[in-house]
Chains A and B, each alone.
Chain A
């Protein structure tokens, strides 16, 4: 695969990732991750102070599955729809078939009155890998500039 083809595949993955959250297809969204994936949402405040506490931390795909199960079966949260707007995607490099990718996001939430609020902005720090010719997130670290979480952090960023 050429660099151009790899880049096009990465862009597709990034776009699908956002749209599957926004379309509330979270069970299928899980398929974008490897079994040994790491998914974390970090607050910029803690990052800047080198403090380890996360806002959300899934250390494998099972923990991510549990998040989705809990959202579906147990949690009660503000009724809303999500909308992600992805900024330009930077492919920073590749080592041993793992691409380091970085991009900014803006996440909006629209409530039942049809009013939309910016929920947060931040940066995705991703490690993306090919398995069987298909791309997966091996690691997705979301650094939230908006670490003052409005209401609650329910659906993933």
Chain B
């Protein structure tokens, strides 16, 4: 237990974010313990990735390696991906199918529920060596996590005091997951992006609908997402998750041009793509929403950008680095044409995405410039100060404040006494 919180939060409404939170190496391990291994639910993967008995995937929770495995009866189990003998990584493959989990180091093997079933040479050789008399393999099990699925999305927690998953997600997030995962999935593939910045900077990025129409000029230029369109940011009751949404084609030309005044390069009239097919939206939900960026605290984003659907998992790689792990999917009953369209539309996102590549640059350049700051802070007040609640416009960054309110609660960082002037 520490004596004094290493970082002070100057404003009670979280409209100031101390830069030290992004770069102070002393808080990283604390975050792993209090946030990721604390009473939160973390995205681990999709059930569609391990549909059959014996199927497994390896993933991470924060930076802890995790093995998710389906047993003979079809039940999902998740463990720290580490042998109970001497700490060897138990499963090295990204995914596969196994009858049991055997460590390559000394061949200790575990059943699919995590119980130790065998150790070679238990009685040694020739009357010498081997396990001690009191070794009881039945007491040795892989370090298990509690996992729960919601609509085929697997979440895990290390904590006994986490709320039930449905309560943790809340009605607003569940509504979006019900929408996105309304029928069986087909996984289309993965992308990995190494981002050289703190994991929270990416959480900020996806809770900032404002930047979507300013940094990503492709968006504004080709009308997929403009700050003048119908849209907003829906928060859950606790304000820790966020749903950014918009409907394309809803912007008024006058308001758009006025809003983008002085940012001429962002909104460029007169440019046209030679092949517009990538931008086509095949309506597939019973509403007009063409973009949803759903961020669930602390490690996942669910995306609908037109027909491009994916999850983005934040994988911590130390204080100043993270991997963004993109899992793209469609639905089981997609036609070949639809699968091809989803793949074509994936040009918009991912590390090479026409409307997303900028995020890697923004996160890195913020991280670099705040590296040694210990008493300066970011100003987060677009959309207003004070109360943290759902936003009816895209010109907002209030969801960032919601993220840090819950973050500080978990980290035990006291908030400032007064709202920022």
Contact = CB atoms under 8 A, between A and B. Distances in A.
Nearest to B188: A53
Contacts of B350: 55, 153
B302 to A, nearest CB: 17
A89 B357 CA distance: 31
A8 interface: no
B361 interface: yes
Interface in A43-58: 43, 45-46, 49, 51-58
A2 to B, nearest CB: 38
A57 B192 CA distance: 16
4 cross-chain pairs, A with B, having the tightest CB-CB distances, nearest first: A53-B189, A153-B352, A51-B189, A62-B274
A151 B275 contact: no
Given A57-B346, A73-B217, A152 B193 contact: yes
Interface in B173-207: 187-196
A77 B94 contact: no
Contacts of A59: 344
A66 B274 contact: yes
A52 B347 contact: no
B352 A46 contact: no
Interface string A57-76: 11110110111011001111
Interface residues of B, number: 39
Nearest to B278: A63
Contact of B357 (A58, A60, A147, A152): A152
B51 to A, nearest CB: 14
Interface of A: 41, 43, 45-46, 49, 51-60, 62-63, 65-67, 69-70, 73-78, 147-154
B217 A74 contact: yes
B215 interface: yes
Contacts of B190: 43, 45-46, 51, 53
Nearest to A75: B357
22 contacts: A41-B352, A45-B94, A45-B190, A46-B189, A49-B95, A52-B339, A53-B346, A56-B352, A62-B274, A63-B347, A66-B274, A74-B217, A74-B354, A76-B358, A77-B358, A78-B361, A148-B193, A149-B191, A152-B351, A152-B352, A152-B360, A153-B357
Nearest to A63: B275
A60 B273 CA distance: 13
A147 B192 contact: yes
B328 interface: yes
A153 B190 CA distance: 15
B352 A53 contact: no
B221 interface: yes
Contacts of B135: none
B323 interface: yes
Contacts of A69: 271, 273-274
A70 B274 CA distance: 11
B351 A52 contact: no
A45 B184 CA distance: 23
A75 B351 contact: no
B338 to A, nearest CB: 12
A53 B187 CA distance: 9
Contacts of B339: 52
B361 A43 contact: no
A97 B300 CA distance: 49
Contacts of A66: 273-275, 278
B268 interface: yes
Residue from B190, B196, B328, B357 with most neighbouring chain A CB atoms (10 Å): B357
A53 B274 contact: no
B116 interface: no
Contacts of B354: 67, 70, 74-75
A8 B350 CA distance: 37
B90 to A, nearest CB: 21
Given A66-B274, A69-B271, A76-B215, A149 B193 contact: yes
A60 B276 CA distance: 12
Contacts of B361: 76-78, 151-152
Contacts of B188: 51-53
Residue from A49, A60, A65, A149 with most neighbouring chain B CB atoms (10 Å): A149
Contacts of A52: 188-189, 339, 343
Given A63-B278, A74-B217, A149 B343 contact: no
Interface in B16-70: none
A27 B218 CA distance: 19
Interface string B329-364: 000000000010001101100111010011011001
